């Protein structure tokens, strides 16, 4: 069926053979932006419709397309609307890196309408949950606050206010049971700028704070007020809009009279501070609410659900920029690194090499030295001894798909060091994220693709540096990220071919977009996600997943080529704290050309993506 995109059409579904809507006569569009096939309407908002669609560029994955239809006179107004829509969509794209905010896939204009395409979240809203299961008790309200407050803190630090927080805009996602914030108000910001008439307000009456309704002003505390009202509704099943119509904002001072469930005095005090009309009396930040919740140590959440530990930790929303990060985070002076030299052991592994067609032509048993550090609760970190040596860094001119930034091809000498046998896993990340912070907070469970032995991803460079600092405090050893030269040396492990396995790569040796080939290699599997560490064969040094799975952060700042690069294996830094940092190895999302040992990439140090992780390095005297 083809779906008519007229927001006023009452019967929008049409047979595939029709070119015009059989009800309203509008020309039918088979693919929006030559990409999104509209399946059927889901909902209707004040400025258009919301549709269920499928993304034909992404394996027909289901998504949500929001249509923002507007009526305006004048070219300037239309251009201004599109500019504001683009700015808002770009913000949503950044916010979508938070796993509890739907990812933005695209934004575009078509005809007289604006569109955005977002991740489709399978689940139900808290309003529907209230209607189906009844009012929330204290344990569920605490769980809600501990789950949503870190997300609010994240968006507020980035200068974004939700402005319409209410139970129908909070979804409980199927599968992991986590709460997801939806409807980030593109239409509301757009409306604020375009309607330009007295009395235009943002947010929903009954939920919106006094300053939103009277002045059109939205600040982080405004979202916190709306969160408090949402909690009230979930505890009472009473609609705030009804109270607003009868009593205006005066009902807020008597909210406790309507509570029929038992509430601790501590939670009452927190909710009361959220539900203050006077900004001077209300919480000013999500972090402050979290601090009070966590300081009470009386959280009642189901112990059988792994997510509760994540909810008890503060999300990584405050980016520390007062101290330059061009060097590893220094260990605080009160910490003395006096750990003894570790006891080395030996492990055995198999090395596979392939020919130009990707066929295995050799299997060799090898062994390597390593040691283990305990991260607590039985979690171990395995560090492999990398022998010193000399190698050619970059790629020769004749290498297939070589990029200019991989030259000049040059000699580098590397001193012995240790490197993680695997990229950091989610289990290892959680063990360290639970430790006291050094410079910034760490999200306890940031990854999109869940699994204890899966790589941690959606971790910024700064967060990787913080991880190393906490790990150093824990173990008494100075852990760090590898330099770019150390990483390539360890990846090649004595080879000079594009991949450590040989002249090509197959999906039997690495996790990448296997439907694409390199050289004469075969097509393979595209797994569309990360895979558990260690699934594929190790290289000659005993390191796993050096090609594909997740990109790996290096310590270095980005340079456009190797002119002037260090030749002693040290990291190549700049004086700018905001400069992009180097990424190596390619990922599950990349073609094999980007998984070559010489391939280089980069990203800004604050940003997180679901195909970026890291492994740690260590130099012992």
Assigned token pair, 549: 């799975």
Tell me how far apart the alpha carbons of residues 300 and 290 are, in angstroms, rounded to a whole number. 15
The Cα–Cα gap between 326 and 570 comes to 13
Q: Do residues 335 and 479 lie in contact, with contact meaning Cβ atoms separated by under 8 Å?
A: no
Query: Burial level of 407, CB count in 10 A (0-12/13-18/19+)?
Result: middle
Asked if 387 and 416 count as a contact pair (C-beta separation under 8 A), the reply is yes
State the catalytic residue, choosing from 164, 183, 441, 611.
Answer: 164
Dmax over Cα atoms in the chain, in whole Å? Answer: 80
Question: Coil, strand or helix: which one is 63?
Answer: strand
Q: Six-digit token pair at 18?
A: 């029709």
Is 164 an annotated catalytic residue? yes
Residue 56: CA count within 13 A, CB half-sphere:
10
Cis, bond preceding 467 (omega within 30 deg of 0): no
The CA-atom distances, in angstroms, between 129 and each of 92, 180, 183, 365 are 26, 14, 18, 56
Residue 351: partners with Cβ closer than 8 Å, 6 or more residues away: 363, 364, 365, 366, 537, 538, 539, 540
Phi/psi-derived region of residue 519, left when phi > 0, alpha when psi is between -120 and 50, beta in every other case:
left
CA angle at residue 602 from 598 to 608, to 5 degrees? 130
Write phi, then psi, for 364 (nearest 5 degrees): -130, 130
Q: Name the nearest CA neighbour of 236 among 212, 263, 216.
A: 263
Give one DSSP letter per residue of 103-128, joined into a string: PEEEEEEETTEEEEEEE---EEEHHH
Residue pair 290/144 in contact (Cβ under 8 Å)? The answer is no
| Phi, psi (degrees; rounded to nearest 5) at 27 | -65, 135
Catalytically active residues, by annotation = 164
């Amino acid at each position: 069926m083809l779906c008519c995109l007229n927001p006023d059409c009452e019967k929008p579904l049409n047979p595939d053979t029709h070119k015009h809507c059989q009800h309203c006569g509008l020309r039918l569009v088979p693919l929006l932006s030559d990409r999104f096939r509209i399946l059927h309407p889901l909902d209707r908002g004040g400025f258009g419709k919301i549709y269920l669609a499928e993304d034909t560029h992404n394996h027909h994955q289901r998504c949500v397309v929001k249509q923002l239809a507007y009526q305006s006179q004048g070219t300037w107004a239309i251009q201004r609307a599109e500019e504001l829509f683009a700015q808002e969509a770009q913000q949503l794209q950044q916010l979508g890196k938070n796993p509890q905010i739907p990812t933005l896939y695209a934004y575009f204009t078509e005809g007289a309408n604006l569109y955005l395409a977002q991740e489709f979240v399978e689940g139900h809203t808290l309003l529907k949950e209230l209607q189906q299961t009844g009012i929330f008790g204290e344990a569920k309200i605490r769980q809600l606050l501990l789950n949503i407050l870190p997300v609010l803190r994240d968006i507020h630090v980035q200068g974004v206010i939700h402005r319409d927080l209410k139970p129908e805009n909070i979804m409980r996602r199927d599968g992991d049971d986590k709460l997801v914030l939806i409807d980030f108000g593109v239409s509301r910001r757009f409306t604020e700028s375009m309607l330009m008439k007295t009395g235009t307000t943002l947010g929903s009456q009954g939920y919106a704070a006094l300053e939103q309704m009277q002045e059109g002003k939205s600040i982080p505390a405004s979202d916190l007020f709306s969160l408090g009202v949402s909690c009230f509704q979930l505890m009472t099943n009473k609609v705030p809009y009804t109270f607003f119509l009868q009593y205006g904002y005066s009902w807020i001072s008597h909210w406790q009279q309507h509570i029929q469930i038992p509430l601790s005095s501590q939670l009452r005090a927190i909710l009361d501070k959220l539900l203050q009309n006077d900004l001077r009396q209300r919480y000013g930040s999500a972090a402050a609410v979290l601090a009070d919740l966590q300081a009470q140590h009386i959280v009642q959440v189901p112990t059988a659900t792994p997510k509760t530990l994540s909810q008890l930790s503060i999300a990584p929303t405050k980016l520390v920029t007062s101290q330059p990060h061009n060097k590893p985070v220094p260990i605080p002076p009160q910490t003395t690194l006096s750990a003894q030299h570790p006891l080395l052991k030996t492990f055995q592994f198999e090395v596979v090499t392939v020919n130009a067609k990707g066929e295995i032509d050799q299997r060799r048993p090898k062994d390597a030295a390593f040691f283990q550090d305990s991260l607590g609760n039985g979690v171990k970190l395995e560090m492999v001894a990398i022998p010193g040596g000399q190698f050619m860094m970059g790629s020769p001119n004749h290498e297939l798909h070589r990029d200019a930034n991989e030259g000049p091809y040059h000699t580098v000498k590397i001193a012995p060091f240790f490197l993680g046998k695997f990229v950091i896993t989610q289990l290892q990340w959680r063990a360290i994220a639970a430790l006291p912070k050094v410079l910034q907070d760490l999200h306890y469970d940031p990854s999109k693709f869940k699994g204890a032995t899966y790589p941690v991803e959606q971790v910024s460079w700064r967060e990787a540096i913080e991880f190393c600092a906490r790990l150093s405090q824990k173990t008494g050893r100075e852990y760090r990220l590898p330099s770019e030269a150390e990483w390539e040396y360890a990846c090649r492990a004595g080879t000079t071919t594009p991949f450590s396995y040989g002249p090509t790569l197959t999906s039997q040796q690495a996790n990448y977009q296997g439907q694409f080939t390199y050289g004469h290699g075969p097509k393979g599997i595209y797994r569309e996600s990360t895979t558990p560490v260690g699934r594929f064969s190790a290289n000659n040094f005993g390191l796993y997943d050096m090609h594909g799975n997740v990109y790996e952060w290096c310590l270095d700042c980005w340079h456009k080529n190797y002119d002037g690069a260090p030749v002693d294996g040290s990291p190549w830094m700049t004086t700018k704290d905001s400069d992009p940092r180097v990424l190596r190895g390619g990922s599950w999302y990349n073609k094999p050309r980007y998984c070559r040992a010489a391939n280089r990439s980069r990203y800004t140090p604050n940003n997180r993506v679901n195909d970026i992780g890291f492994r740690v390095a260590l130099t012992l005297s």
